[in-house]
Amino acid sequence: MKIMVINGGARAMSRTRELTKAFEQALTKKGVEILPFDVGKDMLPVYTGSEAEMETATVKKLITFAEQADAFIICTPEYHGSMSGALKNALDFLGGKQFKGKPAIIGAAAGGGKGGINALNSLRQVLRGLYTLALPDQIVVDPEHFDENLRLVNQDALERIEAMTDELLRITRCVGRREEAAAK
């Protein structure tokens, strides 16, 4: 099983990246192959629909990983009450061809208070447009969940990440088995 893990936070000191890493650590413990994509490191052009941009290395990587993935973990910052523009730009290169019928779980890094839900709702809406099976469980992490070295240390958050990852793997296996049975 291959899980594509997308970090939608482009800042150098991104908390979203740390949230993404916590999911990757949970997957590694379970022996799952990770296909990592980071919008702050795998710099994409702005989507224009031109053929030339489809030939760039990062766009090819994005599309190849998404095609190979059996499921997705996607994390976004909440910026101005929505998902990040950088993540939306990445998703604009993709479509139902890569996402249709594949499970996904989502998480957000927010500024505290009641932030984060709007980013998750906007991401969920986009994933619906991509025909993704976005699972109901989701997570928001706030600045207080991190230590001074930017490590995600909040125990409740780490337990939730474990549980969400387990559920993603369970559902992904079920979807895979159904598809195998249907192909027979």
Ligand X SMILES: Cc1cc2nc3c(=O)[nH]c(=O)nc-3n(C[C@H](O)[C@H](O)[C@H](O)COP(=O)(O)O)c2cc1C
> Is 96 one of the binding residues for ligand X (CB under 6 A)?
no
Q: Which of 24, 36, 78, 145 binds ligand X (CB under 6 A)?
A: 78
Q: What is the x/- site pattern for ligand X, positions 39-68, by CB under 6 A?
A: ------------------------------
Q: Which of 96, 101, 111, 129 binds ligand X (CB under 6 A)?
A: 111
Residues 131-160 that bind ligand X (CB under 6 A): none
With contact defined as beta carbons under 8 Å apart, do 86 and 75 qualify? no
Q: Which of 32, 83, 109, 168 binds ligand X (CB under 6 A)?
A: 109
Q: Which of 3, 4, 6, 9 binds ligand X (CB under 6 A)?
A: 9
> Is 38 one of the binding residues for ligand X (CB under 6 A)?
no
Reduce the DSSP state of residue 94 to 3 states and report it. Answer: coil
DSSP for the chain reads -EEEEEE---STT-HHHHHHHHHHHHHHHTT-EEEEEETTTSPPPPP---HHHHTSHHHHHHHHHHHH-SEEEEEEE-BTTB--HHHHHHHHT--HHHHTT-EEEEEEE--STTTTHHHHHHHHHHHHHTT-EEEEEEEEE-GGGB-TTS-B--HHHHHHHHHHHHHHHHHHHHHHHHHHHHH-
> Is 107 one of the binding residues for ligand X (CB under 6 A)?
no
Closer to ligand X at the Cβ: 14 or 138? 14
> Is 80 one of the binding residues for ligand X (CB under 6 A)?
yes
> Is 110 one of the binding residues for ligand X (CB under 6 A)?
yes
| Site residues for ligand X per CB under 6 A | 9, 11, 14-16, 77-81, 109-111, 115-116
